[in-house]
Protein backbone atom coordinates (compact mmCIF):
# COMPACT_ATOMS: atom_id res chain seq x y z
CA UNK A 1 0.00 0.00 0.00
CA UNK A 2 2.86 2.38 0.77
CA UNK A 3 4.27 1.83 -2.72
CA UNK A 4 0.90 2.74 -4.17
CA UNK A 5 0.75 5.91 -2.10
CA UNK A 6 4.22 6.91 -3.14
CA UNK A 7 3.71 6.35 -6.85
CA UNK A 8 0.19 7.64 -7.26
CA UNK A 9 0.33 10.55 -4.82
CA UNK A 10 3.86 11.85 -5.09
CA UNK A 11 4.82 15.27 -6.40
CA UNK A 12 4.05 15.62 -10.11
CA UNK A 13 7.24 15.10 -12.05
CA UNK A 14 6.82 17.68 -14.79
CA UNK A 15 5.56 20.37 -12.44
CA UNK A 16 8.03 19.59 -9.67
CA UNK A 17 11.01 20.58 -11.80
CA UNK A 18 9.36 23.53 -13.50
CA UNK A 19 11.88 25.94 -12.03
CA UNK A 20 14.84 23.68 -12.67
CA UNK A 21 13.88 23.23 -16.31
CA UNK A 22 13.52 26.91 -17.14
CA UNK A 23 16.29 28.69 -19.11
CA UNK A 24 17.93 30.05 -15.95
CA UNK A 25 20.40 27.16 -16.01
CA UNK A 26 23.52 27.35 -18.22
CA UNK A 27 23.47 23.57 -18.95
CA UNK A 28 26.29 22.22 -21.13
CA UNK A 29 27.19 25.61 -22.59
CA UNK A 30 28.71 26.58 -19.25
CA UNK A 31 31.87 24.74 -20.26
CA UNK A 32 32.59 27.56 -22.71
CA UNK A 33 32.13 30.47 -20.31
CA UNK A 34 30.88 31.71 -16.98
CA UNK A 35 27.26 32.31 -16.14
CA UNK A 36 27.83 36.03 -16.52
CA UNK A 37 29.41 35.52 -19.97
CA UNK A 38 26.37 33.53 -21.09
CA UNK A 39 23.89 36.14 -19.87
CA UNK A 40 22.33 33.75 -17.35
CA UNK A 41 22.77 36.32 -14.55
CA UNK A 42 20.61 38.75 -16.52
CA UNK A 43 17.57 36.47 -16.85
CA UNK A 44 14.57 37.63 -14.83
CA UNK A 45 12.88 34.75 -13.01
CA UNK A 46 9.52 36.49 -13.35
CA UNK A 47 9.84 36.03 -17.10
CA UNK A 48 11.16 32.46 -16.86
CA UNK A 49 8.96 30.89 -14.14
CA UNK A 50 5.34 30.59 -15.25
CA UNK A 51 2.21 28.61 -14.43
CA UNK A 52 2.51 25.13 -15.93
CA UNK A 53 0.09 22.23 -16.14
CA UNK A 54 -0.19 18.86 -17.81
CA UNK A 55 -1.85 15.45 -17.98
CA UNK A 56 -0.34 12.18 -16.82
CA UNK A 57 -1.37 8.55 -16.83
CA UNK A 58 -0.06 5.10 -15.92
CA UNK A 59 -1.12 1.51 -16.39
CA UNK A 60 -1.41 -0.84 -13.45
CA UNK A 61 1.84 -1.92 -11.84
CA UNK A 62 3.16 -3.16 -8.49
CA UNK A 63 1.30 -1.01 -5.99
CA UNK A 64 0.03 1.35 -8.68
CA UNK A 65 -3.52 1.26 -10.09
CA UNK A 66 -4.55 2.19 -13.61
CA UNK A 67 -4.75 5.95 -13.37
CA UNK A 68 -4.99 9.27 -15.16
CA UNK A 69 -4.72 12.76 -13.77
CA UNK A 70 -3.96 16.43 -14.17
CA UNK A 71 -1.34 18.42 -12.31
CA UNK A 72 -0.28 22.03 -12.08
CA UNK A 73 2.68 24.15 -10.95
CA UNK A 74 1.55 27.53 -9.59
CA UNK A 75 4.16 30.22 -8.79
CA UNK A 76 2.83 32.21 -5.81
CA UNK A 77 5.68 34.68 -5.32
CA UNK A 78 8.68 35.05 -7.64
CA UNK A 79 11.75 36.99 -6.53
CA UNK A 80 15.04 37.83 -8.18
CA UNK A 81 16.57 34.43 -7.33
CA UNK A 82 13.74 32.47 -5.72
CA UNK A 83 10.17 31.27 -6.09
CA UNK A 84 7.48 30.22 -3.61
CA UNK A 85 5.08 27.81 -5.28
CA UNK A 86 2.23 25.32 -5.02
CA UNK A 87 2.31 21.99 -6.85
CA UNK A 88 -0.96 20.05 -7.08
CA UNK A 89 -2.11 16.77 -8.59
CA UNK A 90 -5.59 15.29 -9.01
CA UNK A 91 -5.69 11.61 -10.00
CA UNK A 92 -8.51 9.30 -11.06
CA UNK A 93 -7.70 5.73 -9.98
CA UNK A 94 -9.44 2.98 -11.96
CA UNK A 95 -10.18 -0.70 -11.39
CA UNK A 96 -7.42 -3.32 -11.54
CA UNK A 97 -7.32 -5.81 -14.39
CA UNK A 98 -9.66 -8.71 -13.70
CA UNK A 99 -7.79 -11.39 -11.76
CA UNK A 100 -4.75 -9.22 -11.06
CA UNK A 101 -4.31 -7.12 -7.92
CA UNK A 102 -2.10 -4.02 -7.73
CA UNK A 103 -1.96 -4.27 -3.93
CA UNK A 104 -1.75 -8.10 -3.52
CA UNK A 105 -4.66 -10.41 -2.64
CA UNK A 106 -7.47 -7.87 -3.14
CA UNK A 107 -8.24 -6.09 -6.40
CA UNK A 108 -8.83 -2.35 -6.48
CA UNK A 109 -12.36 -1.67 -7.73
CA UNK A 110 -14.35 1.28 -9.01
CA UNK A 111 -13.08 4.81 -9.56
CA UNK A 112 -11.77 7.07 -6.81
CA UNK A 113 -10.04 10.47 -6.81
CA UNK A 114 -6.71 10.91 -5.03
CA UNK A 115 -4.97 14.21 -4.37
CA UNK A 116 -1.43 15.42 -3.81
CA UNK A 117 -0.51 18.96 -2.78
CA UNK A 118 2.87 20.55 -2.08
CA UNK A 119 3.93 24.01 -0.99
CA UNK A 120 7.59 24.73 -1.66
CA UNK A 121 10.37 27.25 -1.92
CA UNK A 122 13.23 27.15 -4.43
CA UNK A 123 16.21 29.44 -4.73
CA UNK A 124 19.39 29.84 -6.79
CA UNK A 125 22.92 30.20 -5.47
CA UNK A 126 25.03 33.26 -6.21
CA UNK A 127 26.21 32.27 -9.70
CA UNK A 128 22.94 30.46 -10.53
CA UNK A 129 24.74 27.16 -11.06
CA UNK A 130 22.63 25.32 -8.45
CA UNK A 131 18.97 25.40 -7.47
CA UNK A 132 17.97 24.32 -3.94
CA UNK A 133 14.48 23.62 -2.69
CA UNK A 134 12.30 22.51 0.21
CA UNK A 135 8.68 21.38 0.06
CA UNK A 136 5.98 19.87 2.24
CA UNK A 137 2.42 18.74 1.67
CA UNK A 138 -0.44 16.30 2.05
CA UNK A 139 -1.60 13.28 0.02
CA UNK A 140 -4.90 11.41 0.14
CA UNK A 141 -6.09 8.20 -1.49
CA UNK A 142 -9.57 6.70 -1.11
CA UNK A 143 -9.84 3.14 -2.41
CA UNK A 144 -12.71 0.84 -3.31
CA UNK A 145 -12.02 -2.89 -3.06
CA UNK A 146 -13.14 -5.78 -5.23
CA UNK A 147 -12.53 -9.51 -5.55
CA UNK A 148 -9.52 -11.55 -4.47
CA UNK A 149 -6.94 -12.19 -7.20
CA UNK A 150 -6.65 -15.78 -5.93
CA UNK A 151 -10.29 -16.57 -6.67
CA UNK A 152 -11.23 -16.82 -2.98
CA UNK A 153 -14.75 -15.53 -2.34
CA UNK A 154 -14.67 -12.37 -0.22
CA UNK A 155 -17.44 -10.87 1.90
CA UNK A 156 -17.99 -7.49 3.55
CA UNK A 157 -15.95 -5.56 0.98
CA UNK A 158 -15.01 -2.18 2.42
CA UNK A 159 -13.81 1.15 1.07
CA UNK A 160 -10.59 2.50 2.59
CA UNK A 161 -9.11 5.97 2.91
CA UNK A 162 -5.37 6.51 3.36
CA UNK A 163 -3.54 9.80 3.85
CA UNK A 164 -0.02 10.99 4.50
CA UNK A 165 2.06 14.09 5.07
CA UNK A 166 5.23 14.57 3.04
CA UNK A 167 8.41 16.63 3.07
CA UNK A 168 11.29 16.92 0.63
CA UNK A 169 14.68 18.51 -0.06
CA UNK A 170 16.20 18.97 -3.51
CA UNK A 171 19.32 20.26 -5.25
CA UNK A 172 19.70 20.57 -9.03
CA UNK A 173 22.62 21.70 -11.19
CA UNK A 174 23.31 21.47 -14.92
CA UNK A 175 24.56 17.88 -14.45
CA UNK A 176 23.40 16.59 -11.03
CA UNK A 177 20.05 16.37 -9.27
CA UNK A 178 19.31 15.15 -5.74
CA UNK A 179 15.90 14.60 -4.18
CA UNK A 180 15.39 13.39 -0.59
CA UNK A 181 11.89 12.83 0.77
CA UNK A 182 9.87 11.51 3.69
CA UNK A 183 6.31 10.12 3.48
CA UNK A 184 4.56 9.68 6.82
CA UNK A 185 1.06 8.12 6.95
CA UNK A 186 -1.40 9.72 9.33
CA UNK A 187 -4.84 8.74 10.57
CA UNK A 188 -5.92 5.11 10.33
CA UNK A 189 -2.86 3.50 8.71
CA UNK A 190 -4.25 -0.06 8.72
CA UNK A 191 -7.78 -0.69 7.54
CA UNK A 192 -9.94 -3.72 6.84
CA UNK A 193 -10.52 -4.26 3.11
CA UNK A 194 -12.89 -7.23 3.39
CA UNK A 195 -13.68 -10.25 5.57
CA UNK A 196 -10.20 -11.69 4.99
CA UNK A 197 -7.61 -9.00 4.23
CA UNK A 198 -6.30 -5.73 5.66
CA UNK A 199 -4.45 -2.93 3.85
CA UNK A 200 -1.82 -0.72 5.46
CA UNK A 201 0.51 2.21 4.82
CA UNK A 202 4.00 2.56 6.28
CA UNK A 203 6.53 5.36 6.77
CA UNK A 204 8.92 5.79 3.84
CA UNK A 205 12.16 7.71 3.42
CA UNK A 206 14.06 7.91 0.16
CA UNK A 207 16.80 9.50 -1.91
CA UNK A 208 16.96 9.83 -5.72
CA UNK A 209 20.18 10.85 -7.48
CA UNK A 210 20.46 11.69 -11.16
CA UNK A 211 23.33 12.60 -13.51
CA UNK A 212 22.97 14.19 -16.94
CA UNK A 213 25.31 12.19 -19.17
CA UNK A 214 24.35 14.14 -22.31
CA UNK A 215 21.69 16.81 -22.90
CA UNK A 216 19.34 13.98 -23.95
CA UNK A 217 20.46 11.16 -21.63
CA UNK A 218 19.95 11.17 -17.87
CA UNK A 219 20.96 8.33 -15.51
CA UNK A 220 19.30 8.09 -12.12
CA UNK A 221 19.15 5.77 -9.12
CA UNK A 222 16.87 5.80 -6.11
CA UNK A 223 16.57 4.07 -2.75
CA UNK A 224 13.74 4.09 -0.24
The answer to whether the CB of 199 falls within 8 A of the CB of 106 is: yes
For the chain, first and last CA: distance in Å? Answer: 14
Write out pLDDT tens, residues 168-218. 999 999 999 999 999 999 999 999 999 999 998 889 999 999 999 988 888
Domain boundaries, the chain: 2-223
How would you classify the pairing of strands 106-109 and 112-124? unpaired
Contacts of 34 (CB under 8 A, 6+ apart): 127
Write out pLDDT tens, residues 90-121. 999 999 999 899 988 999 998 999 999 999 99
Of the candidates 188, 139, 147, 122, the residue with the CA atom closest to the CA atom of residue 7:
139
Amino acid sequence: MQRSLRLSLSLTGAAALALANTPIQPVAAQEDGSAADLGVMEINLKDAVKFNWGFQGALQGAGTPNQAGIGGFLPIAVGENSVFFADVLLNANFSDYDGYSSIINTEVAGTTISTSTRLGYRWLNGDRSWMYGVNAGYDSRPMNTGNADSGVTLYDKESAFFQQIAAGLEAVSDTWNFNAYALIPVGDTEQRLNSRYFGGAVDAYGLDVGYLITPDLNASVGYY
